Amino acid sequence: MPRVSRQNLKTITATYHIILRGINKQEIFIDNIDRQKFLKILRETKEKFTYNIYLYVLMDNHVHIVINDEKQDISQIIHKLCTTYALYFNKKYSRVGHLFQNRFKSIGVDDEKHLLNLVSYIHNNPVKEGLGNIDTYKWSSYKEYVYNNGLKIADTDFILNFFGENRDKAIKRFIEYNSKIDEKSYLEAKLSVESKITDEEAIMYIKKVMRLENIFIINNYNKNIRDFYIYKISQIEGLYNKQIARILGISERNLFRIIKKAKANLSDYELK
């Protein structure tokens, strides 16, 4: 999957990370029968619209699905999925009204790195939320990749090919990749989903990207090198200036001045 501009995603990659959330953050699955019903409906929509599902996970109040849809039927697919499940849910629990947020979130998956980050992020979501172990959690595509069981919803070949041509070795590498829970990759994927992370997560992310054990050590560098590091931090996708200024203990006005000056003098800097 070559890297492309996000404006061209619709015609080139046709791969999307879909997030469905319960309205007002309410639970959309009360018991395992609900989860089974949702997956059954998901498989039926896949058969009807003939698209591919690379990844999925069912949480208590939201769902992640990575879809490859060459026909560009995303809106119809999600409308059918949500409407059918909401009718079931409302009837079962004697409720009325919307079950899902009015607008689902759709994020274009623009390159191989983004897709592989999502492999780890989605499959480790239940682990991060304290819902279970990656091996034992029933409601994700992980079991289809590793054990080849379940409702056969996920199209596993495409992603397994990234891990090798030999299927047994690819599955072994797939398991190892998911077990690492690489924080940098996980936070990159989380940024693409939530658009923001906590200050603690941001500090961890900056350390990983900048290869620094302590980000505050940059205050000990000479002024030009310090300012260049601050400029590089400001270029990390997903972080915003207000958060960076807060973390580094400087004013937003001073941060803006540093970024502007460093950008104008990039050729004068050389990081060893």
φ and ψ at residue 51, rounded to 5 degrees: -115, 175
Could you identify the residue written with the tokens 């998911």?
178
Query: Residue 7 has what pLDDT?
Result: 36
Question: What's the mean pLDDT when you consider all of the chain?
Answer: 83
- The span from the CA of 155 to the CA of 51, in Å, is 10
CB contact at 8 A, 36 and 92: no
Query: pLDDT tens digits for 55-89?
Result: 999 999 999 999 999 887 888 999 999 999 999 99
- For the record, the structure tokens of 15 come out as 């791969």
pLDDT band, residue 145 (cuts 50/70/90): very high
Query: pLDDT tens digits for 157-206?
Result: 999 999 998 999 999 999 998 887 666 666 766 666 665 667 777 888 88
pTM over 0.75: no
Give CA 117 to chain center in angstroms. Answer: 7
Mean pLDDT of 22-48: 94
Task: Please choose, from the candidates 190, 155, 165, 126, the residue with its C-alpha nearest in 3D space to the C-alpha of residue 55.
Answer: 155
Mean pLDDT of 263-270: 64
Highest mean pLDDT among 9-13, 210-214, 265-269: 210-214
pLDDT band, residue 35 (cuts 50/70/90): very high
Percentage of the chain lying above the pLDDT 70 cut: 85
Task: Please choose, from the candidates 225, 229, 198, 227, the residue with its C-alpha nearest in 3D space to the C-alpha of residue 215.
Answer: 229
Higher pLDDT, 170 or 247: 170
Three-class DSSP category at 251? coil
